[in-house]
Amino acid sequence: MKPSPQSLPPASETISRMLYSVQSPTISVRELLTLMGEQGLLMLCALMTLPFLFPVSIPGVSTVFGAAILLIGVAITLNTLPWLPAFVADRQLDWLKLKPTLQRGVGVLRKVDGFLKPHRLAVLSNSLVMNRVNGLALIFAALLLMLPLGLIPFSNTLPGIAILLLAVGMSQRDGLLVAAGYGMIVLTLVYFSFLAWAAWAGGRSLIG
C-alpha cells in the first residue's frame, strides 16, 4: 500500500538522496525515473525543472526534459504509465555538469517544502477529475518550456517554476501549491505575450 501524502518524504529529501546515489558520469531520463522510486513521475518532473531555476542553462536540456515532462503529463491525464520515446528516455546527459545545478535547486525545493500542507485546498488535488486537469496543465507548461527561447531571460525559468509547483503540489496533495502553479502559467503567458508584442513593435519600427 502506498503511503499517505503526510508520510511521504519531502521532495527535497527524495531528490537529494537520489543525487548522491548516482556515481556515473552520464545519466539518462530512464535511469532518473528508476531512481526516483515511490514518488516517481511527479518527483521526476520536479527534478527536471531544477536546471531552469537559474540564469545559466545547459544546452539541449530544455528540449529533452520538456518532452519528458510533457509525456508524463499525458500519462497523468490518461491515468496510465508513461511512454517515453528512445530519444528522450535513453539520451545520455552529462551528470558532472547537471549535478551541481540540481544540488543548487534542492535548496529552492527546501524552501518550497516549508510551505507544504497536505490536503490544503483539496478540491484542486484530491480527485481523479482534477488530477487529469492538472495533467493537462503540466502538458501546457511543458510546451511553454520547450519553446526555442532559451537565450531570453526567464523564458525557461517561469514555466519551470510552474511545473515545479504543480508537480510538488500534486504529489503532496497541496492544492495551494497547485493553484500557485496555475498562477505561474498565467504569468508565463503574460510574459511571452509581452515578448511577442515587443518583437512585433521592433519589427515595425525597423520597417518604418
Per residue in 126-137, pLDDT (tens digit) is: 888 998 999 999
Q: Contact at 8 Å (CB) between 193 and 26?
A: no
Is residue 89 classed as helix, strand or coil in its secondary structure?
Answer: helix
pLDDT class for 55, splitting at 50, 70, 90? low
How far is residue 179's CA from residue 74's CA, in Å, rounded to a whole number? 20
How far is residue 177's CA from residue 167's CA, in Å, rounded to a whole number? 9
Average pLDDT of every residue of the chain: 83
Q: Which residues pair with 93 in a beta bridge?
A: 27
Lowest-pLDDT range of 132-141, 149-158, 185-194 = 149-158
Q: Which triple of cell numbers denotes residue 171?
A: 504529489
Question: What pLDDT sits at residue 176?
Answer: 94
The full set of domain ranges for the chain reads 23-202
In 8-148, where do the E strands start and end? 26-27, 93-94
Per residue in 74-123, pLDDT (tens digit) is: 988 988 877 778 887 888 888 888 888 888 878 878 888 778 888 888 89
